[in-house]
Amino acid sequence: MAADAEYTEDNIRSLDWKEHIRMRPGMYIGKLGDGSAADDGIYILLKEIIDNSIDEFVMGNGKVVEIKIKDKKVTVRDYGRGIPLGKVIDCVSIINTGGKYDSRAFKKSVGLNGVGTKAVNALSTYFEVLSYREDKVKRAEFEKGNISKDHKIEASTQRKGTLMTFVPDEKIFHNYQFRVQHVQRMMWNYVHLNPGLTIYFNGEKFYSENGLKDLLASNLSAEPFYPIVHLRGEDIEVAFTHAKKYGEEYYSFVNGQHTTQGGTHQGAFREMYVKTIREFFGKEFEAVDVRQSLVAAVSVKVVEPIFESQTKTKLGSQEIEPGGTSMKSFIGDFLKKELDNFLHKNTQVADEILRQVQRSERERKELAGIRKIAREHAKKASLHNKKLRDCKVHFNDEGGGERILQTTLFITEGDSASGSITKSRDVQTQAVFSLRGKPLNVYGLTKKVVYENEEFNLLQSALNIEESLDGLRYNQVVVATDADVDGMHIRLLLVTFFLQFFPELISNGHVYILQTPLFRVRNRQETRYCYSEEERLAAVTELKKPEITRFKGLGEISPDEFKNFINENIRLEPVVMGKDSRINELLEFYMGKNTPDRQTFIMDNLRVEKDVEEDLIPKKE
């Protein structure tokens, strides 16, 4: 601030709740996004509304929730108790108002205390609430948090419960769309965590009888070595197995909230699982060997949970309830009793776990020498100058008292393409990794190749994922290649690398394909960038006598233009795996000894310009 700038009472401004939420939405819902990532803001809005319905179910009220999403309008109907009619408007428009402050009613609640629904209201161009209760209905409508219609209480024959409708504001959530696969996964999580609950999403039924066992079975991306172990206790449920894959994979939940970044409960499970296995077999195995290839789900119920962010993606609570048992002791005591008993009764499973630990131990020792050399080489390779143009902050760094929620690594090929992205990127949060030609096809190879191949060794080091995803430096790993056959092949080879050795990068929603325009259509008044032939034809019709440029590669797009494509309007297509996909089967299909016809099929279906329905490829709804 300039030394002579005035600082008076006129500089002090008080924002009402709506203005504050709309001015600082990230404080309430995390990152905004366009819907390509599962943790983008539009899904947080959806979750906040659904959470209230789930709380009603948990309290024994209403076993069905109906959800519809059409033309960006979301409707959620439950059959719980309904909001007390005289408090309907307060509950959706007065901050810090809600029934969850009353611990008698909501001991282990999912929803945000008095904030969530208000945030949805404030960030929506249209918001409507109806509460059916006592054969009456109360209805109110809002625009950007401001009440537009306050309807009188009327008689009703509808079943009791609540109906809420909202349309996210496109001025806040630019170019957004709800991706079906993200919403479906959310619905499956809800029903897996709440056996007996039925959810209908756009007419599709979601239901689970076996809780986390069903969740893990539906998310297994590789063949398990033994049947899923499923253990239940008061306020805790655990399911796990070892699968034919590298790395560790966790699905952790607190009071029904999917803690995608883990937290104290996930950390306690990882630690106490190792302790229980060591004690059962009477040997001090290395923790990394015990957990290698482990796929696990853990859910706990916590009184007054403390999260590290408003969006509740990471649990910070050290105790199961204020002043009560520590999280580590609670989970440790449960595993010591239940898992130890299970292994004694199921010796075949115990034998399989032992064999898996021993396999991991042998491979780790075989790799020890080459790992050391590879790490030293990575340090000497001058990563930050040669291969990696790094950004200044990284995913989960502390910044200004808050954690950095999003950083991006662009993986590109060729000096011109990497040069354009490097010159136009945001140096604070966007990094660039340059490939030298096509990467190696690693299908069927062991992890030894990761350390022997210079490019993969440096990429692994740049991402900081050698041991686990805990140290991941970039939330978005974006493959940025040309939209031609060579570019598609590079995409395929990189996806194969991640699937083979770091599948959790894909299953946790970190890998994307960058969409760049195929055409520039402009006249003297306007310039439009078109990502498909359909968009080009529309632009030509509307602009009249335009100049048309076909971009053959990323290197043809100047840095000045590239800024338009990797800013807040960036178009990313997530690389996703289908619900029933298995890694080994996918790799065999995509990278095995395929016939020419299959190779043609692969290239056709990897094109990002068209809608596709295969399991592994970028999808567009």
Helix (H, G, I), strand (E, B) or coil at 594: coil
| pLDDT score, position 5 | 56
Bigger pLDDT: 526 vs 380: 526
Question: Residue 467's beta-bridge partner residues?
Answer: none
Distances (CA, A) of 594 to 56, 226, 584: 52, 30, 15
Question: Which residue intervals of 68-171 are DSSP H helices?
Answer: 88-93, 116-122
Spatial distance between the Cα atoms of 329 and 337, rounded to a whole number of angstroms? 12
Spatial distance between the Cα atoms of 62 and 397, rounded to a whole number of angstroms? 41
List phi, psi (to 5°) of 380. Answer: -80, -15
Question: For 337-341, what is the mean pLDDT?
Answer: 95
Helix (H, G, I), strand (E, B) or coil at 478: strand
Task: Say whether pLDDT at 558 is over 90.
Answer: no
Give the lowest-confidence range in 62-66, 370-374, 476-480. Answer: 370-374
Six token digits for residue 121:
């209201």
Task: Say whether pLDDT at 97 is over 60.
Answer: no
Percent of the chain past pLDDT 70, that is, above it, reads 83
Spatial distance between the Cα atoms of 129 and 476, rounded to a whole number of angstroms? 36
Full-model pTM: 0.73
CATH number of 212-365: 3.30.230.10
Task: Say whether pLDDT at 586 is over 60.
Answer: no
Q: Enter the DSSP assignment of 427.
A: T
| pLDDT score, position 468 | 78
Give the lowest-confidence range in 18-32, 271-285, 461-475. Answer: 18-32
Going from N- to C-terminal start, the domains of the chain cover 17-207, 212-365, 381-516+553-605, 522-550
| pLDDT score, position 28 | 78
Task: Say whether pLDDT at 613 is over 80.
Answer: no
Bigger pLDDT: 357 vs 260: 357
CATH number of 17-207: 3.30.565.10
Spatial distance between the Cα atoms of 132 and 340, rounded to a whole number of angstroms? 49
| pLDDT score, position 74 | 96
Task: Say whether pLDDT at 400 is over 60.
Answer: no
Q: What is the 3-state secondary structure (H, E, C) of 542-571?
A: HHCCCEEEECCCHHHCCHHHHCCCCCCCCE
Task: Say whether pLDDT at 63 is over 60.
Answer: yes
Percent of the chain past pLDDT 90, that is, above it, reads 37
Bigger pLDDT: 614 vs 343: 343
Most confident by average pLDDT, 145-154, 544-553, 572-581, 607-616: 145-154
Q: Enter the DSSP assignment of 440.
A: P
| pLDDT score, position 433 | 92
Q: What angle do CA 175, 182, 222 make, to 5 degrees?
A: 140
Bigger pLDDT: 207 vs 29: 207
Classify residue 25 as exposed, middle or buried by CB count within 10 Å of its CB (0-12, 13-18, 19+): buried
Task: Say whether pLDDT at 111 is over 70.
Answer: no
Q: What is the pLDDT of residues 65-86, one digit of tens each?
A: 999 999 899 999 999 999 999 8
Question: For 466-474, what is the mean pLDDT?
Answer: 84
Q: What is the pLDDT of residues 178-217, one digit of tens each?
A: 988 889 989 999 999 998 999 999 999 999 999 999 999 9
59 touches 65 (CB < 8 A): no
Question: For 556-567, what is the mean pLDDT?
Answer: 80
Question: For 249-267, what is the mean pLDDT?
Answer: 88
Spatial distance between the Cα atoms of 79 and 131, rounded to a whole number of angstroms? 10
Of 208, 221, 323, 222, nearest to 256 by C-alpha is 208
| pLDDT score, position 175 | 82
In 10 A of CB 580, how many CB atoms?
12
Question: For 578-605, what is the mean pLDDT?
Answer: 54
| pLDDT score, position 587 | 62
Q: What is the pLDDT of residues 445-465, one digit of tens each?
A: 888 888 888 888 889 988 988
The fold of the 381-516+553-605 domain, in CATH, is Rossmann fold (3.40.50)
Buried b / exposed e along 465-492 (16+ C-beta atoms within 10 A) = bbebbeebbbbbbbbbbbbeeebbbbbb
H or E, element range at 231: strand 229-233
Task: Say whether pLDDT at 517 is over 90.
Answer: no
| pLDDT score, position 13 | 52
Q: What is the pLDDT of residues 413-441, one digit of tens each?
A: 877 777 888 888 989 999 999 888 788 88
Q: β-strand 229-233 against 236-242: which pairing, if any?
A: antiparallel
Task: Say whether pLDDT at 239 is over 90.
Answer: yes
Maximal CA-CA distance, the chain = 79
212 touches 239 (CB < 8 A): yes
Going along 488-589, which residue ranges are E strands? 511-515, 519-522, 527-530, 547-550, 571-574
In 10 A of CB 318, how many CB atoms?
11
Amino acid type, 416: S
Task: Say whether pLDDT at 142 is over 90.
Answer: yes
